[in-house]
Amino acid sequence: MSKSETQTTDGETKTTNSNAEWTPERWGYSWGEGTQQGRPDVDEPAPEWWTDAYEMRMRFGIPQFDPDAFEYGVYPDVLIHEKPADQTSSAGGTDWLKVGERGCGKSTDNLHWSLRLMDENDEKVIWRGSPNRSEWTPFADWTTMWLPSHASVDARWVFEDDGRDPEHVADLSEIVRTVRYYDDVRDLIDQLGDHPEGTFNVVYPDPSFSGCTELTRASSRVSGTLPFVPEWTAGADENPTPLTHWWFAFMLGRIEFAHSHGWWSWMFDEAADLVPPSVEQDEHRTHSKLMLYRNLMQDSRREKFSVYNSIHRESQINWRVREEHMWRVDMPDGTPNPRRNSKRSIPHGFSTVQMIGDIMSDRNVGEALMFNERNFSLYQWSDIKATDDGEGVLKLGLGEPTSKPDIDEAQRELNEVSE
């Protein structure tokens, strides 16, 4: 398809003709149905160019990425994944820690970044599914939602308008392209490994923690088996494991036990939920899980697994995790960026930065700064809104299953020891 484009200095290519109005309806498909990833096997295969990422760019008017438009290579180095490095100076997976107060555009930039990853690397994006958040819904037409089979799911739309009652969702497949179920962490990792490349996947954690304890017992990365106790099996004097702890097992499963090692990127907003600044060795062995996370971060890049965390302030997450992030993103929240001559402003884990003055305090939402110790790049992202943006939040209550799964053998042994 022909395009007429002009280059800009922010790495974006502005489309100047009617291709910005491209729709799949020309070929008799709705959004998300006619792509390589979405078209049923019985249909004629989609053309090579017709991917989820291409269609998403057309839907939201997002231009093609141009790495040559950047004077310095920080942004392209983090975005373009390759092993060995050919176009960039970074081999393997990458990471960033995105810092910015509420309202500065973190979630929208995360969507934009997810699309870029899919478009440039044909990789799988894993978006943290949170029971109380749904910033991913603008991408619903291209979303595969992954739900635990050993949990009850109560889905509802909750609206900002106090006068509007929540609406129950009987069939989540009416919201997303595909709903898939997994039995335990290993099963999820295997299914994702076989899932098409270049897809957007929203994964919800399993409150039954099926297979989590057994996974840690099979790993040499931890000393002793780590506990994962569902709310409905916890004793009277026992606290259930926080649901976010499931993600420790997910990360372990992907890096140590995956049978497929294509490119994966993990988008985790509100990272303080997982790795808070103060962590104790409590009954959940939270400190051991934090150290496991740190150990996995050190191996993630060579395993083609990229970790992208977002927080409001640097102090919100544990220092051990902060020092594992090689790149930072400073968002336009009215505060100054880190500066070389202000030691207090330099992020933990960095010895220096290359920014001399404040170049972020006056920036508008839609512009951000990506940097490491050696260089930095200013960049822009496109606004991404659902057709019914602002209508409500999709909340998923994950609870006790109607038929309870067996506790995995490793957790049963831990329970017997504690008794």
Nearest-angstrom CA–CA distance, 122 and 52: 10
**pLDDT for 7:** 32
SS3 content of the chain, % helix, strand, coil (to 5): 30, 20, 55
**pLDDT for 10:** 44
* One-letter amino acid of 170: A
Which string of b and e fits 182-209 if b means at least 16 CB within 10 Å?
bbbbbbbbbbbeebebbbbbbbbbbbbb
Q: Which domains does the chain have, with CATH numbers?
A: 72-418 (3.40.50.300)
Nearest-angstrom CA–CA distance, 364 and 283: 45
**pLDDT for 68:** 87
Sequence-separated (6 or more) residues with CB below 8 Å from residue 261: 303, 304
CA 181 to chain centre: 19
CB atoms within 10 A of CB 364: 9
Nearest-angstrom CA–CA distance, 253 and 190: 9
CB atoms within 10 A of CB 66: 16
What pTM was estimated for this model as a whole?
0.91
Nearest-angstrom CA–CA distance, 176 and 252: 27
**pLDDT for 408:** 61
Q: Could you list the pLDDT tens digit for every one of the 419 residues in the chain? A: 333 333 333 444 443 333 458 999 999 999 999 999 999 887 899 999 999 999 999 999 999 999 988 877 899 999 999 988 777 778 899 999 999 999 999 999 999 999 999 999 999 999 999 999 999 999 999 999 999 999 999 999 999 887 889 999 999 999 999 999 999 999 999 999 999 999 999 999 999 999 999 999 999 999 889 999 999 999 888 999 999 999 999 999 999 999 877 999 999 999 999 999 999 999 999 999 999 999 999 999 999 999 999 999 999 999 999 999 999 999 999 999 999 999 999 999 999 999 999 999 999 999 999 999 999 999 999 999 887 655 799 999 999 998 765 556 656 565 555 55
Nearest-angstrom CA–CA distance, 304 and 381: 24
| Distances 282 to 240, 259, 407 between C-alpha atoms, Å | 12, 33, 21
Nearest-angstrom CA–CA distance, 352 and 341: 9
Cβ distance 247 to 322 under 8 Å?
no
**pLDDT for 405:** 57
Nearest-angstrom CA–CA distance, 226 and 410: 9
Cβ distance 112 to 384 under 8 Å?
yes
Nearest-angstrom CA–CA distance, 162 and 24: 37
DSSP 353: -
Closest CA to 307 of 95, 97, 127: 95
